[in-house]
Chains A and B, each alone.
Chain A
């Protein structure tokens, strides 16, 4: 749990000379579900996306008849259809969801679906016990059905990893772990984030810098969601800016979306109460230790790290600080909008990209 109640000492998000047709996004877990949503909502701005342990678009709406109460149905779908289905046939149905995405585009709630040239990196650890591999297989099928060319889709499911983004840091969890902070180490000589960006932007990316020289800036996120509680977004977000970009070089933007319990001001709950005596447990670890900044520095990529915080106040049920992929931020629970351009979180992310691009 965290709070936007205390005004932060943070500057406004600055503007740079960014190509807003070549953005990209990646995320883990709830950040991966949001990656798919943001990617589809504004696909005209994106060159590709990286999905680590995430499910297909609008999966939480698979089985509306699960309950007479819409809110209950969507939460139950999120947990039991989109995270741990007993068998693939009880998981998200990619054919139905692809058709739902097409309908959403026809309704002009998201960009037209011209995804053939988009580049997708999709990963599931074979030891993942939080978001089952069956769900991530459905994500791959979903993108195939929407026309992404097979050559542009990199699907990885042969690493015996738990639920995590993978690094080379010795202090991170062992590979098979399924526990916070959901950052684990593998035995490869590179970060998983580099695989994602190399796949999206191609082999011409320069090798990551051994030491970063750019600046990690804290910025005030509240102007982008109007400070509204239902957004469940933190007061501050972060952006990494390479030196060359600060000096005026043309850049591209990559959005990095953390998963549940990974926000910078997330505080763990012990027996239902915020463990504020020991907060924050992980802080900016996802921002500074997952390798994104090193490859950004060498390639004039601006890394945007928007932040979500825990909120469980009787109106917004998001105690673990997850990105919204089941509707908790919607004004009308019976008609959720979390997946569309109108969603409060997606609107905020889009406004951040516009600002970074100088618009």
Chain B
């Protein structure tokens, strides 16, 4: 059961918490005061993009350097084909997860759960919305992971191939 009762002091406590959150807290030295959040979040995003640009730029450069030397290497061609097949299999796996998630959601919506209060109805409908969002989030995260996985594996594979050729 969710707690639905309330005390007169609850709002004051919440306001005090907000006020404290506006200031630096020595007990949580890594937690920033609320007014600094916009700048800090922007800095974090900028840092991630810098990391990504570094990684992906380097990996793309390595691939571009190594690829021409492998043009007539039939062993490399065979492994490259196997890698392409593996990527296709992973893509189909993502598609399968998407379909399973949608089917499960559809079946749940079709069960028409009983409700005697407006609050329960709203909660049930919100749950379905959250499940859709969770499904979309997991698909996006899995697709991003597959992209990173593919890029890094190709770069690593090319690096080893190039090293073996001297």
Contacts and interface: CB of A to CB of B under 8 A. Distances in A.
Nearest to A73: B55
B152 interface: yes
Contact of A89 (B79, B90, B155): B79
A314 B41 CA distance: 13
B86 A67 contact: no
B51 A72 contact: yes
B30 to A, nearest CB: 5
Interface string B146-164: 0011101111110110000
Q: How large is the interface on A (under 10, 10 to 19, 20 to 34, 35 or more residues)?
A: 20 to 34
Interface string A76-88: 1101110011110
Contacts, number: 72
Contacts of A85: 153
A80 B149 contact: yes
Contacts of B54: 67-69, 72
Nearest to B62: A65
Contact of A90 (B30, B62, B145, B156): B156
A65 B155 CA distance: 9
B153 A81 contact: yes
Interface string A87-102: 1011001000000000
Contacts of B150: 86
Contact of B156 (A63, A72, A79): A63
A166 B77 CA distance: 39
Contacts of A63: 152, 155-156, 159
A62 interface: yes
A86 B83 contact: yes
B149 A66 contact: no
A72 B55 contact: yes
Contact of A68 (B58, B79, B149): B58
Nearest to B82: A87
B79 A67 contact: no
B87 interface: yes
Contact of B145 (A62, A79, A89, A93): A79
9 contacts: A63-B152, A66-B59, A76-B152, A81-B152, A86-B153, A87-B82, A87-B83, A90-B154, A313-B30
Interface of A: 62-63, 65-69, 72-73, 76-77, 79-81, 84-87, 89-90, 93, 313-315
